[in-house]
Amino acid sequence: MINTNITVINRLGLHARAATKLAKLANSYPCSIRAGQVEPLVDAKSVMSLMLLAANQGTELNFIFDGPEETAAHRAIVELFETYFDEGE
């Protein structure tokens, strides 16, 4: 299990397009991926659940990766955030 915090750095926060990219990436891994600020964390493979987090720029989200390929999933999601969801800023 990997437990990490990731800060939303893109200007628009975790909006619909970013949430869709995150859920699509999360769904490409067989492990469980949960995210949020407080318990209960939400399923990061669900666009609607991610949207309900209402995570604006600067929000710190806790992610828990558990299961097969958790390390690869962790790296990929950290990279997605670090590259501003391929949106430039």
Alpha-carbon distance of 9 to 13, in angstroms, equals 7
Residue 69 is predicted with a pLDDT of 98
The band of 16, judged by pLDDT with boundaries at 50, 70 and 90, is: very high
pTM of the model: 0.94
List Cβ neighbours of 28 (8 Å cut-off, separation of 6 or more). Answer: 76
Residue 34 is predicted with a pLDDT of 99
Residue 78 is predicted with a pLDDT of 98
Residues 30-87 have pLDDT tens digits of 999 999 999 999 999 999 999 999 999 999 999 999 999 999 999 999 999 999 998 8
Alpha-carbon distance of 21 to 67, in angstroms, equals 21
CATH 3.30.1340.10 is right for the domain spanning 2-86: yes
Cα distances from 21 to residues 43, 47, 65, in angstroms, run: 14, 9, 17
CB 36 within 8 A of CB 42: yes
User: Would you report the helix, strand and coil content of the chain in percent, each value rounded to 5?
Assistant: 35, 20, 40
Q: Report the catalytic residues.
A: 15
